[in-house]
Amino acid sequence: MAEKHFKYVVLGGGVAAGYAAREFAKQGVKPGELAIISKEAVAPYERPALSKAYLFPEGAARLPGFHVCVGSGGERLPPEWYAEKGIELILNTEIVKADLASKTLTSASGASFKYDILIIATGSTVIRLSDFGVQGADSKNIFYLREIDDADKLVEAIKAKKNGKAVIVGGGYIGLELSAVMKINNFDVTMVYPEPWCMPRLFTAGIAAFYEGYYAKKGVKIIKGTVAVGFDSDANGEVKAVKLKDGRVLDADIVVVGVGGRPLTKLFKGQVEEEKGGIKTDGFFRTNVPDVYAVGDVATFPMKLYNEMRRVEHVDHARKSAEQAVKAIKASEEGKTIDEYDYLPYFYSRSFDLSWQFYGDNVGDTVLFGDSDPASPKPKFGSYWIKDGKIVGAFLESGTPDENKAIAKVARIQTPVESLDQLTKEGLTFACKI
């Protein structure tokens, strides 16, 4: 089988890979020096679109419309862009073996790729109910959402099961976004999750109460405190019902499962140091193996602001970590240094006509401010997290760009707070005057 050699290889063709390519091009890369190897069939795209506009019944987002870097307001890089720059996009190619000692990657079809410098950007895979042996979990029309192929299959099912019943398993952001978009597609939607409220990893009870109320108003049914323990299917093997642990049985034509992800580090087990489930890096995304970097969902990196090693599974970090790694690679080639990564966590989500942003860390005391009544014509509210007398995290629903900038700033500079009552009263004004 053929062997190809590249100066730089990015393994993975997702968000981080696309932003890495743009940074390589900015810094200067010669034709033939850089390759992106991806199991997907398409050039890097903005993955968050898959659970949002990609599934809209009308005006749906489609490639090439959402190739990176449009999600951050940048230039869109269609496949031709890579060709023009002499960046090789090696698509439909799954790497099944990585030998970091001999700097060789081997694909499922037996092709070998040698590199001088490797950037691991393999992202995450979904956790499947079949991983836990849930009965009937391999029935047809049970979907997971990670890659564009998954989204295409869901789009087909939405068309085939028009106005049917959808059960969404999981109450995280995928569950919330999918429930909304299935409702917009005129499905009868029920969400099921075991926790006392949705998005418990981020939302306080107060924040969650708003979204649960809003979803109820939109006609989404929510069942909390129980889990799916089995699925019934018909003679074609298509799912027909979801059996819950509390004994209830829900009719279903489509089930979407969003119960979390797992970083794809398997290829490198035993070859590279790991921490907290990810590949351990420094503030330049260098691993302990020379010439091997890891970025995006797979990297566990020093979060300078909190003096702690963390892994972040969000798009903003995927973009920024990729840029940082490329800058570090280029600087070290020129004998220069760059500043360590200094990241302020930033997550967002959108559903129905809602849109929230969160910055910082969700630890300590919390205050809820603003109008969080789901029945309000124009609800707008937020929350601060306060630790050791300082704001460390801030959340805002329906903020303007300037207001979002203001909450980011208070979380970044960790603005001191004298009174929680005063903070509750001032709410957003507190951030906007800093």
Of 198, 196, 190, give the one whose Cα is nearest residue 244.
190
Phi, psi of 101 (to 5 degrees): -70, -45
- Does position 94 interact with ligand FAD (CB under 6 A)? The reply is yes
CA-to-CA separations, 121 to 200, 358, 431, in angstroms, rounded: 28, 24, 35
Report the alpha-carbon distance of residue 251 to residue 165 in Å, rounded.
Answer: 7
Which of 23, 24, 123, 259 binds ligand FAD (CB under 6 A)? It is: 123
Kindly tell me which of 85 and 146 has the beta carbon lying closer to ligand FAD.
146
Give the C-alpha separation, 271 to 256, whole Å.
Answer: 35
The residue (of 51 and 415) whose beta carbon lies closer to ligand FAD is 51
Q: Which of 180, 244, 264, 391 binds ligand FAD (CB under 6 A)?
A: 264
Strands 3-11 and 34-37: parallel
The residues pairing with 261 across neighbouring beta strands, listed in sequence order, are 126
In the set 50, 180, 254, 410, which binds ligand FAD (CB under 6 A)? 50
Calpha distance 179→173 (Å, rounded): 10
Q: Which residue lies nearer to ligand FAD by CB, 108 or 434?
A: 108
How many residues line the site for ligand FAD (CB under 6 A)? 36
CB of 152 to ligand FAD, least distance (A): 13
Which C-beta is closer to ligand FAD: that of 66 or that of 430? 66
According to CB under 6 A, which one of 6, 8, 14, 362 is a site residue for ligand FAD?
A: 14
Only one of the segments 112-120, 132-140, 307-315, 404-412 lies at the binding site for ligand FAD (rule: CB under 6 A); that segment is: 307-315
Residue 73's contacts (CB-CB under 8 Å, 6 or more residues apart) are: none
CB 243, min distance to ligand FAD, A: 26
The CB-of-57 to ligand FAD minimum distance in angstroms stands at 18
For residues 16 and 367, which CB has a smaller minimum distance to ligand FAD in the complex? 16
Among 279, 318, 326, 329, binds ligand FAD (CB under 6 A): 318
Task: Please report whether residue 145 would count as binding ligand FAD according to CB under 6 A.
Answer: yes
**What count of other Cβ atoms lies within 10 Å of the Cβ of residue 159?**
10
Selected from 67, 240, 280, 314, the binder of ligand FAD by CB under 6 A is: 314
Q: Which helix (H) or strand (E) holds 356?
A: strand 354-360
Which residue lies nearer to ligand FAD by CB, 118 or 267? 267
Please give the residue whose beta carbon sits closest to ligand FAD in the complex.
14
Interface with ligand FAD includes 63 (CB under 6 A)? no
Instruction: Record the tokens describing residue 370, joined without a space.
Output: 């603003």
Q: Is the dihedral of CA 33, 37, 40, 41 positive or negative?
A: positive
Give me the residues paired with residue 8 across strands: 34, 117
The identity of residue 296, as a single letter, is: G
Pairing mode of beta strands 165-169, 188-193? parallel
What's the closest the beta carbon of residue 271 comes to ligand FAD, in angstroms? 14
DSSP string, 81-138: HHHHHT-EEE-S--EEEEETTTTEEEETTS-EEEEEEEEE---EEE--GGGGT-BTTT
Per-position x/- string for 322-341, each x denoting binding to ligand FAD as judged by CB under 6 A, each - no binding: --------------------
Which residue's CB is nearer to ligand FAD, number 9 or number 134?
9
* Options 37-45, 109-117, 269-277, 302-310: segment touching ligand FAD (CB under 6 A): 37-45
Spatial distance between the Cα atoms of 36 and 132, rounded to a whole number of angstroms:
33
Closest CA to 324 of 276, 268, 383, 284: 284
Tokens of 121: 């950007």
| Residue with smaller CB distance to ligand FAD, 124 or 415 | 124
Residue 404 found at the interface with ligand FAD (CB under 6 A): no
Verify binding: residue 39, ligand FAD, rule CB under 6 A. Answer: yes
Contact 181, 351 (CB under 8 A): yes
Q: Which of 138, 195, 275, 313 binds ligand FAD (CB under 6 A)?
A: 313
Decide: is 51 part of the binding site for ligand FAD (CB under 6 A). yes
Q: Which residues bind ligand FAD (CB under 6 A)?
A: 12-17, 37-40, 47-48, 50-51, 94-95, 121-124, 145-147, 174, 264, 267, 296-297, 313-316, 318, 347-349
